[in-house]
Amino acid sequence: MTVEFTAVWAASALGEHRPCEDTYGRFPYDSVPSLDDLPFTGSYEWFGDLGEVVDDQRTAALRDLERAAAAAGVVLPADFVTFETHSKTRGALVEASCCWSNLSGLMPSPFEEGAYLVRFLRDQQDCVIWYLYLRPGQDAFVVHSHELAWYLDHPLEDDDWEPQPELTAAELAAEVSWCAPSFEQFAYRFRVENRLWDVLVEGSREPEPAERDYLERYALCRKG
């Protein structure tokens, strides 16, 4: 049975464009600017110089993950592999936020047979954890959750950890939200929004063209 996830973007405030009192808010996806007209081709032209391909333990782990995915009948998306194996992109999400990279192994979906999850990013307080969601014969997309981690490999650093209540597959799936149709589109929105913090909150610089474009899209989005 194919699961239908609620579409929600998890993020912090963006000044007057998106007030939020908590560290993270959950915003309906149709309330954030559409990026569907931008050319996300997997080449990251919007980023610029990706740097050199890095051959290290992190890349080796990624190659192992690629092989594990292929053996399981799913594909690790090429845009994710490109991002993670180039020197200037692989740390770009971490540099722009209070999150850190945390690549997991291939984890079977607990609520959809044949599907798999790969954790790739987590907030420093584990408020939100992001995953690739892989289905056989379909393009990968990005989901996020806090609760799901308790039922997968429990990476949470919590001294007060207690066993969680048992949930049905449907109940657990309801704790997961879809947030991007591809990794590259996720990376673009995540990076632009987090870099806008310097502009809107710190006031330390003027917005760059992509950031200004995003704010203009937000203004149009709010007008409906």
pLDDT per position as a tens digit, 9-21: 999 888 888 888 8
Q: What angle do CA 3, 63, 85 make, to 5 degrees?
A: 95
Residue 161 lies in a domain: no
Residue 121 lies in a domain: yes
Dist CA 170 CA 147 (whole Å):
13
The number of folded domains in the chain is: 1
Mean pLDDT, range 25-42, rounded to an integer:
95
Residue 177 lies in a domain: yes
**pTM score:** 0.93
Residue 36 lies in a domain: yes
Residue 1 lies in a domain: no
DSSP code, position 223: H
Residue 144 lies in a domain: yes
Residue 60 lies in a domain: yes
Q: Which domain holds residue 217?
A: 6-156+166-223
Residue 135 lies in a domain: yes
Mean pLDDT, range 52-59, rounded to an integer:
95
